[in-house]
Amino acid sequence: MKINSERRGTRLLAAILAAVLAVTLLTMAPAPGNYVSAKNAQVKKYEDQISELERNRKALQEKIANIKNEANEAAEYKQSLDSLIYALSQKISVSEELVEELETRIEETKTTIAEKEQAIENTFEKFQERMRMSYEEGSVSYLSVLLGSDSVSDFLSRVDRVNSMLEYDKTMMDQYKSEKEALEQERTSLEESIALQKSTLEDMEKDKVENEKLADQAASYYDSLKEDEAAYQKQYADAKAAEDKLDQELTQYLKNLQKQQQQAPKNASAAGSGTPQVTASGEFMWPLPVGKGYISCYYGDSDPNGAPHYAIDVPIAYGTPIYASNDGTVLKAEKHSSYGYYVLIDHGAGRSTLYAHCSSLAAVAGQTVSKGQIIGYVGSTGFSTANHLHFEFRINGVRTNPLDYVKKGV
């Protein structure tokens, strides 16, 4: 009878303890822990960039609205549209990076939550096992510890000891559950953020398509100007003069650079320092996806206005990636009134390549690039009537036929 009574007491205590723990787990509030916000420094950086690009976009739209009212400002209107498309492209690029960052963090959070859930399950199984043992082995049960006391003070001391035994399990459960709830809250926040960013990205893609249409409409002003031959000839003459001026500047610039590079080893040896010069080796690759586009104007051909053309033009879809033809150092990545957005790369040994009329750039001056690396995207910026790549190859600063050095890829 005494054993049966003790076992009944043990079962009763076990049931009470399990119920207390269950209620405790259900009512615990999540601790903030280390997971306080989804807006870490990297996310904040992307959001700041997007905000700045959005301000630039609005300013450009205001400028376009003002210019559009003046028919004689058609060329400036197109240039402003080119800039607007570039700003939108940059904003979309930053947004894509932000979405990628958020997606990565969500996957990491899901993995961590799964690990915490397993840890909670393991801890609870251990607790249940201890309760089962307490029930089956009266000698080690919490009740036997309490009933084995000799006095009231001993009983109270044993109660404290039992509480300490239970406190470990409760603390672990509290910790794991709090972290799990905090992580789930972070995941919810991240999922909301990425949903918002994807929605924003979709809107910006629509804006980009619309502005491309506007840019095409603006480009048609060249055709309309042909009806007024004098006006068209002035536009063409201005663009050609700007291009010739840039050509002279680049030729001299590259010749000076080559001279400096030839002298650099001696100077570096004397000074004991110097920056290594990138010198490309191997064949030069076609700067566009192979098998796409076509050559509309070869080196040495005449352009539509009869002037000699010292490059090759490749019409191809807007936004097509442009690749560095070989290893090198970016000398210039900027905008020009005739070339639009362009990139100039020095490949060493007096060789350089130029990529013009880009919709946007993916390289900056001073950057070292590898063969096949994306440096920009096809567009129609500058004095251009359609999306295409203007590709130049220079030897000692002087333009030469690119197809003498690059295998045609169309």
65-74, 215-224, 261-270, 274-283 — which one is most confidently predicted on average?
274-283
Model confidence band, residue 299 (pLDDT cutoffs 50, 70, 90) = very high
The verdict on 320 and 238 lying in the same domain is: yes
What is the pTM assigned to this prediction? Answer: 0.54
Asked, for residue 410, whether it belongs to a domain, the answer is no
The verdict on 276 and 171 lying in the same domain is: no
> Domain holding 239: CATH number?
2.70.70.10
The verdict on 63 and 37 lying in the same domain is: yes
The verdict on 215 and 270 lying in the same domain is: no
Final residue belonging to a domain, choices 191, 219, 247: 219
The verdict on 177 and 299 lying in the same domain is: no
Asked, for residue 53, whether it belongs to a domain, the answer is yes
The verdict on 356 and 281 lying in the same domain is: yes
Is the four-CA dihedral 285, 387, 229, 240 of positive or negative sign? negative
Q: Which domain holds residue 390?
A: 229-404
CA-wise closest residue to 311 among 329, 326, 296, 321:
296
Pairing of strands 312-315, 328-336: unpaired
Asked, for residue 70, whether it belongs to a domain, the answer is yes
CA 311/CA 313 separation, integer angstroms: 7
Asked, for residue 224, whether it belongs to a domain, the answer is no
Asked, for residue 177, whether it belongs to a domain, the answer is yes
What are 127-186's pLDDT values in tens digits? 667 666 655 544 445 555 556 666 666 666 666 666 666 676 677 677 777 777 877 887
Amino acid in the structure at residue 250: L
- CA dihedral (48, 51, 55, 57) in degrees, to 10, reads 120
User: Domain tally for the chain?
Assistant: 2
The verdict on 200 and 58 lying in the same domain is: yes
The verdict on 347 and 393 lying in the same domain is: yes
The verdict on 304 and 334 lying in the same domain is: yes
Percent of residues, the chain, with pLDDT higher than 70: 64
The verdict on 73 and 121 lying in the same domain is: yes
Model confidence band, residue 93 (pLDDT cutoffs 50, 70, 90) = confident
Asked, for residue 409, whether it belongs to a domain, the answer is no
